Structure formats: structure tokens, C-alpha cells
Amino acid sequence: MDKFVINGGSRLVGEVTISGAKNAAVAIIPAAILCDGICRIENVPQISDVTNCLRILYEMGASVKTIDAHTVEIDSHSIHSHIVPHEIAKRMRASYYLIGALLGKFNKASVAMPGGCDLGPRPIDQHLKGFEALGAKIALKDGMISVEADRLLGNQIYLDVVSVGATINIMIAAAKARGLTIIENAAKEPHIVDLANFLNSMGADIRGAGTDVIKIRGVESLRGTTYSIIPDQIEAGTFMVAAAATGGDVLINNVIPKHLESISNKLIEAGAEVIEYDEAVRVRANGRLQKCVVKTMPHPGFPTDMQPQIGTMLAVAEGTSVVSEGIWDNRFRYTEQLARMGADIQVNGKVAVIQGVSKLKGAPVRANDLRAGAAMLIAGCMAEGVTEIEDIHYIERGYENVVEKFRSLGADIKRITVPSSISKVV
């Protein structure tokens, strides 16, 4: 069992470079299955979710060549099976994108139900509604989702809830369907635009990504491409909050400032300074930050994937903050960990009332999920004394070289290995 050990109290100061976006990579890599040629994908983050995604394609028969640390070439013409068994699919939740990709390629797919972070109920009814509208028949049996169509036909699909995953999966499946598919009430996250740009670079005809109506005119075939993934909005946001929360001064390179506006504005509201450059943001703060009201919403609202990090920052802000979660049922588990460090947070359903305390004290804590883990990193840097974080495999699903990046900003952090029977968190 590995842990992060942080000796807190340092201001984070310096420069950090953001990696490629996890949630774009885990959509783009399966979508590469659709093309007949070779896809060269650049700015691929080195994180376990992406390694698992590439491994899934490899185990399905694709050739996956590592060109350098952040570039891969995928040749999927040798994939002949439309079946993804549990042992392969369980590696990551986003393996459900293989349903859209295999359906688009073979007109049929059979994929085991997804795994991933436990954020409460994670239905995929909107994905299935989309596939059905494209003409696929759906069967759920023995933990497998099977979809099959004689030929996918474009259709109009209105999503009942704004879903990132359903929007992506339907876009992938519809790229080669016959005729026009229109997704209404589509999600608008940056990685949706990135996926559309990737598919278009292979010859797809997708318009409107980034708005709530996406039009996909199906094409016969898709060709190989070279494509560079966008920077990770949430990794950037995590370092922005870490800088503000430690009263630091950090230049965060390789970002798209437009993607960070909801986060920048909240930090400014809390009293931090945010300076935007073309491809960087600088965040600095001095003295105690102020309370805020935060409500998570689909893009361009404040991202749910930043809620634990900002909630942690507000745990020591002056006054009473209110944080409402608008997407997931189970996103406040980090507050129990923060309570071990002295935070004063009352959670009632999907609302947390945070009474700012003057400081946090280091303690043994757990990463309950990926973003809860990011919050613990920030808490550990802010706290007085030593914080030990268990279950760091969640953090490593989505943050590349996280120890090195925090350390380069002056954090006193290390990764240690301890016998698995010794846990300090009950």
C-alpha cells in the first residue's frame, strides 16, 4: 500500500505545466477504433486511467505504439471482436465509450458494465436511449450491455439530463451512421469539443460541439489523423486552488484560460488574484481568503470535479461558505476526511455548510475518490503538521507526476510504501 506523506505549511510558489486532459483522452482513445488508418495522438497524459484505456485497445487486438512519453499511435484495423469482457472493461468506468465505438465500427457491441469512482448512482440510460434512437436493439444480461443494429441511422435525440458521457458516446456512434443525428440538450464540456475536433480531423462532419445542439452528419469512413489533446481543465483548476489555498504564487502553464473561467472567478471572489495569459494563468494570494457560495453545474458552470478542492480551500476561509453539489449524490465524502483535520463542515444532502476555521492540522486521511484525493493533497499542503494520504491509486488515475509537480512548487511531499496491513485510517 502506497501513501503520500505531506509535511504541510509551505506556500506553493513557482511554475507547473499541465498535462493532457484525462476525460478527453479516455474518449478520444476508444474513438480511434472507428478509423481505418493510424491515429497518432499527442499530449496524452501518463495516468493510470489512460494506460488502462490503451491496454484495453491492445487486449482487443489493436496495435498501440508508444512514440514518446506523451504520444501514442493506434492502429485498430486488427480489432475483430465486438465483445469486451469484464476482466478488460472493469479497468475503467469510461470503458462504456467502447459501446459507442464498437457499435460505430461493427454495428454491434457487447461490453461489461462500467467500474470507476463511487460517486453515487451512475446510470447510463441516456447513452442507451441514444443508441436506441440510432436504431440499435439493446439487451442487458449477466453484467453485459449488448447493442446491435442492421445499420445505424441518424435521428434526433433529446437528452433528459445533460450528460457528458451520453453526449460523447452518441457522437462516437453517430459519426458513421447514415444521415443526420441531432443531439439536443447536449453537454458542453471542453472535452466534448475536443472529441468533436478529433473526429472531424479523421473526416467526420460534426458541428455545434460546445453548444447544446450538436449535429452529426454521418460519413462512410474515417481516415487516420494526428491530433493533440487539450490541456486538463481540472488538473489546472486543482493547481489554481492549491496556489490560492496556500497563499502561494503559481504560474500554471499549458492551459486554455477560457476553460478555467468559472474557477478563476470563484478564486477572485474569495480574494485571490488570477492573471490570464494566452496559454497560462498565474494565481497568487495573500492573507486569509473569504467565504464563497459555490454551486456545481454542467459546463460552463462550476465543475463538480473541482468541488472537493474548492470546498477544502474554503474550510479555512473567513466566514461561512455554502457549497451545493448539482451533479453527483456522493461527492461530499471528503468532508469526513477534512473533519479529521479539524474542519467544521455540516453536510445535508447535496449541500455543505462550511464554517471556516483558522487552520487545519495534519492527520491520516483517505482519498475516497479521484477528486477527493486531490482535495486531500491541497489539505495536506495547507495543514500544520504531517498528513498521510491512503488509497492514492485514485489520485494516480487522473494526475500525472503529482508528487513531482507539487514538490517542484515547494511542497514537502513524498510517496512511501508501507505493508498493506498497516492502515492509520479507520
Q: What 8-state DSSP symbol labels residue 209?
A: B
- Compute the least distance from the CB of residue 162 to ligand EPU, in Å: 7
Q: Say which residues have a Cβ less than 8 Å from residue 57's Cβ, sequence separation at least 6.
A: 29, 30, 32, 33, 64, 74, 76, 79
Nearer of residues 26 and 240 to ligand EPU, judged by Cβ = 26
Nearer of residues 10 and 167 to ligand EPU, judged by Cβ = 167
Nearer of residues 238 and 321 to ligand EPU, judged by Cβ = 238
Cα(210)–Cα(297) distance, integer angstroms: 15
- Compute the least distance from the CB of residue 426 to ligand EPU, in Å: 25
Tell me whether residue 292 is one of the annotated catalytic residues. Answer: no
Nearer of residues 20 and 398 to ligand EPU, judged by Cβ = 398
Cα(65)–Cα(75) distance, integer angstroms: 8
- The partner residues of 90 in beta bridges, in order of sequence, read none
CA dist 387 → 34, 93, 182, 363, 376 (Å): 45, 29, 49, 5, 9
Which grid cell sits at 143?
A: 453484467
Cα(71)–Cα(57) distance, integer angstroms: 15
3-state DSSP assignment of residue 28: helix
Cα(298)–Cα(295) distance, integer angstroms: 10
CA atoms within a 13 Å half-sphere pointing along the CA-CB vector of 79: 30
- Compute the least distance from the CB of residue 130 to ligand EPU, in Å: 9
Interface with ligand EPU (CB under 6 A): 23, 26, 94, 117, 119, 121-127, 161, 163-166, 187, 304-305, 327-328, 370-371, 398
- Compute the least distance from the CB of residue 8 to ligand EPU, in Å: 24
Nearer of residues 85 and 301 to ligand EPU, judged by Cβ = 301
- Compute the least distance from the CB of residue 260 to ligand EPU, in Å: 15
Cα(198)–Cα(216) distance, integer angstroms: 13
Nearer of residues 156 and 226 to ligand EPU, judged by Cβ = 156
Cα(9)–Cα(16) distance, integer angstroms: 19
Nearer of residues 316 and 323 to ligand EPU, judged by Cβ = 323
- The partner residues of 65 in beta bridges, in order of sequence, read 73
- Compute the least distance from the CB of residue 303 to ligand EPU, in Å: 6
Of residues 35, 39, 53, 117, which has the active-site annotation?
117
Question: Among 81, 6, 76, 14, which Cα is nearest to 41's?
Answer: 76
- Compute the least distance from the CB of residue 398 to ligand EPU, in Å: 6
Instruction: Output the residue with the shortest Cβ distance to ligand EPU.
Output: 165
3-state DSSP assignment of residue 60: coil
Q: What 8-state DSSP symbol labels residue 153?
A: B
3-state DSSP assignment of residue 170: helix
Asked whether 193 and 206 are in contact (CB, 8 A), the reply is no
Would you please indicate which residues are annotated as catalytic (active-site) residues?
A: 117
